[in-house]
Amino acid sequence: MSNPSKIAVFPGSFDPVTIGHVSIVERSLPLFDRIVVAMGENIGKRYMFTAEQRLAWLQETFRGQPKVEVMAFKGLTADLCRELGAGFIIRGLRNSTDHGVERSIALMNHALRGVETIFLPALSEHAHISSTIVRELLANKADVSAFVPAAVRP
Ligand code: ADP
């Protein structure tokens, strides 16, 4: 059995998964034995794509990565970490707004369950990419193929 402290959860909406998300997972691979990409299904949050669709895209995208597992979850990320025996949460930071928000959440997760959050800065070529912008482009029938992994491309 691998050391539980080397399991990390990468939580997100992935609505849809972008090449920014993929980059964060790939850059995290050397740090952990196992990475669980955890797609949130939050009550009260409106998604463009169904949970089934978002999950299918994630599964297809990470199919070739033996250390990466994809799952859907409801509830608190800190509770999921406890269930999985994960000691770490991975988050990507694109800008100072992300940093401000994520710092508070990270400290709360530490207070709740002693889980440490590992932040990776978005690569400069990905800092402008977000699921929100991809949804906006899709809604206006623009080409998003440069911003999403192959699984999501039409
Ligand atoms: P959430 O609703 O939890 O923010 P997202 O799917 O938008 O879910 O993002 C999941 C994680 O991926 C977050 O930590 C976010 O900062 C990070 N992320 C999103 N887009 C990028 C990107 N272009 N580069 C690096 N990290 C990113």
The tens digit of pLDDT for each residue in 111-124 reads 999 999 999 999 99
d(CA 53, CA 56): 5
On whether residue 2 sits in a domain, the answer given is no
Is the pLDDT at 90 greater than 60, yes or no? yes
Q: Are the CB atoms for 151 and 18 separated by under 8 Å?
A: no
**pLDDT tens, residue by residue, 34-44:** 999 999 998 88
d(CA 114, CA 130): 29
Nearest-CA residue for ligand 1 atom 15 is: 92
Range of the domain at 52: 7-152
On whether residue 51 sits in a domain, the answer given is yes
d(CA 46, CA 128): 22
Nearest-CA residue for ligand 1 atom 25 is: 122
Residues 6+ apart with CB under 8 A from 44: none
On whether residue 88 sits in a domain, the answer given is yes
- Average pLDDT of the segment spanning 79-108: 96
Mean residue pLDDT across the chain: 95
pTM, two decimals, is 0.95
Nearest-CA residue for ligand 1 atom 4 is: 12
User: Hey, is 35 helix, strand or coil?
Assistant: strand
Pocket probe mutation, ligand 1, options 10, 21, 130, 131, max atoms within 8 Å of Cβ? 21
On whether residue 21 sits in a domain, the answer given is yes
